[in-house]
Amino acid sequence: MTIETVLSAQRAFFATNATKSIAFRKAQLSKLRAQLKANEALLFEAIYEDFHKSVFETYATEIGFLYHEIDVALKNLARWSKPKRLWSDIANFPSFSYIVPEPLGCVLVIGAWNYPYQLSLAPAIAALASGNTVVLKPSEIAPRTSSVMASLINSAFEPNTFCVLEGGVEETTAILAHAFDKIFFTGSTAVGRIIYEAAAKHLTPVVLELGGKSPTFVLADAHIALAAKRIAWAKFLNAGQTCIAPDYIVVDKRIKGLFIEALKREIATQFQDIEGENYVQIINERNFKRLHDLAQIPLVSDKTKRLIAPTLIEEAQWEDSIMSDEIFGPILPIIAFDDLEEVIATVKARPKPLACYVYTQSKINAQKIIDELSFGGGAVNDSVMHLTNSRLPFGGVGASGIGSYHGKYGFDTFSHHKSVLVKWSRFELSLKYAPYTRWKYRVMQRIFG
């Protein structure tokens, strides 16, 4: 199927208003849930082939997450879609006003490979819940998961409602030549710019879910053992190929030694057997090589299996090459500090990250870091887990992205909030009409000051 056929079918179908009915939207979401549920084995198999992700990890970070997003939307959809009635101001007396969310139309979702199901299907769920039609282009970098999504979705859905088109740069470029009502992109900042430019040609609004270097602060009063446990899990989950993974640590130098010891113990407990089921491959040779070049130290790795062991860079400096770009792999630089103000200023001078984490028992210090730094989202005494709370918007700021989603925020992202004023016809104030007399001007001054 070509993008031209799919898009014209979706435009024609959207114009019938069928997608606006709550029952229709719920039916699409239920169908998607049932299709995923019935084919879990295929989904697990494909992701294992792409990068050895285990069933547990796939369920916890991808499939379970999607079921939750669908269930939240099914439960709340009718309420979210209701018009919100508001008071009008005095200039419009007598009247009332309301805001009603309406679907945007035909939207394009471009997914990333690192959580291929979650990052392709969660935006699609939000778009369907809001009554849009969806063209989904998953990442070609994870070819089996892309192909399994194409076959499961294209066999269950009418292409005029939800359709997967596969492909790489060439196919995506061709898709981007067309006008959509919104483009939702997850991926790198570099490609984000290309998407933004293509969208600008059609004045298409975009959501850009990008990356960045997410700092993790470990202060002197942190609960060291627990901080190490949570950080080790969040960093080495998916072999560090997580957009909100702690990219680097800044640790108070008084506890640096103890923290590194605790981190090593946790790595040994959680990820000792890198060839086993609990550890994930690097997605491809290009990234395997990129990580070796970036680290500039010998890594414990296996080229044929594309495995890189969890690696700490214990004496990292701000000027190191590892501190220049997002790592997106299982390498964790650790920088010691002795002045919190100074380290906050250094982080603040860098591009705004997607996430930020603070480990401390001091509410004041945690609040200070949260207030002073701008970042997409984050956590105090945890990492990554803020993403799992569907009541929180998920997205970046500045260089880490534009817009957000999850739960109600996803619904709003794919809706236009239409504002309507309803005037009564029983009487009419003559103030606004010509002739513009002096007393009318005085009355206006009294109203507006």
Residues found near ligand NAD in the complex (CB under 6 A): 110-114, 119, 137, 139-141, 168-169, 172-173, 186-188, 191, 194, 209-211, 243, 326, 328, 354, 396, 401
Instruction: Give yes or no for a contact between 392 and 379, defined as CB atoms under 8 angstroms apart.
Output: no
Rounded-to-integer distance, Cα 407 and Cα 126, Å: 8
CB of 449 to ligand NAD, least distance (A): 45
| Least distance to ligand NAD, CB of residue 282, Å | 12
Neighbours of 385 (CB within 10 A): 13
168 versus 276: smaller Cβ distance to ligand NAD: 168
Q: How far is the CB of 47 from ligand NAD (least distance, A)?
A: 15
What beta strand segments (E) does 293-405 contain?
Answer: 301-302, 307-308, 311-313, 331-337, 355-359, 377-380, 401-402
Out of 106, 163, 243, 356, which one is annotated catalytic? Answer: 243
Using CA atoms, how far apart are residues 167 and 116, in angstroms rounded to an integer? 14
Ranked by CB distance to ligand NAD, the top (closest) residue is 211
Counting beta carbons within 10 angstroms of the beta carbon of residue 185, is it exposed (0 to 12), middle (13 to 18) or buried (19 or more)? Answer: buried
Amino acid at 326: E
What does the buried/exposed string (b/e) look like for 58-69 if buried means 16 or more CB atoms within 10 Å of the residue's CB?
beebbbebbeeb
Nearer to ligand NAD, 25 or 182 (CB): 182
User: CA separation (Å) from 331 to 72, 310, 317, 361, 433?
Assistant: 35, 6, 14, 27, 70
Residue for token pair 């009541």: 391
Nearer to ligand NAD, 114 or 360 (CB): 114
CB of 139 to ligand NAD, least distance (A): 4
Q: Least Å distance between CB 145 and ligand NAD?
A: 12
Q: Assign 250 to helix, strand or coil.
A: strand
Give residue 308's identity as a one-letter amino acid code: I
Nearest to 398 by CA among 352, 355, 356, 354: 352
- Least distance between ligand NAD and beta carbon 135 (Å): 12
> Has 62 been annotated as catalytic?
no
| Smaller CB separation from ligand NAD, 141 or 232 | 141
Choosing from 62, 69, 209, 326, the catalytic residue is 209
Give the position of tokens 């086993």.
276
Q: Which residue, 141 or 332, has its beta carbon nearer to ligand NAD?
A: 141
Q: Is 259 helix (H, G, I), strand (E, B) or coil?
A: helix
Pick between residue 130 and residue 172 the one whose CB is nearest to ligand NAD. Answer: 172
Residue 226, both tokens: 């627990």
Is residue 243 annotated as part of the catalytic site, yes or no?
Answer: yes
CB of 373 to ligand NAD, least distance (A): 17
**CA 98, CA 89: separation in Å to the nearest integer?**
12
Query: Which residue, 105 or 116, is less far from ligand NAD as judged by CB?
Result: 116
Q: Give φ, ψ of 406 to 5 degrees.
A: 90, 135
Q: Which residues are marked as active site?
A: 209, 243
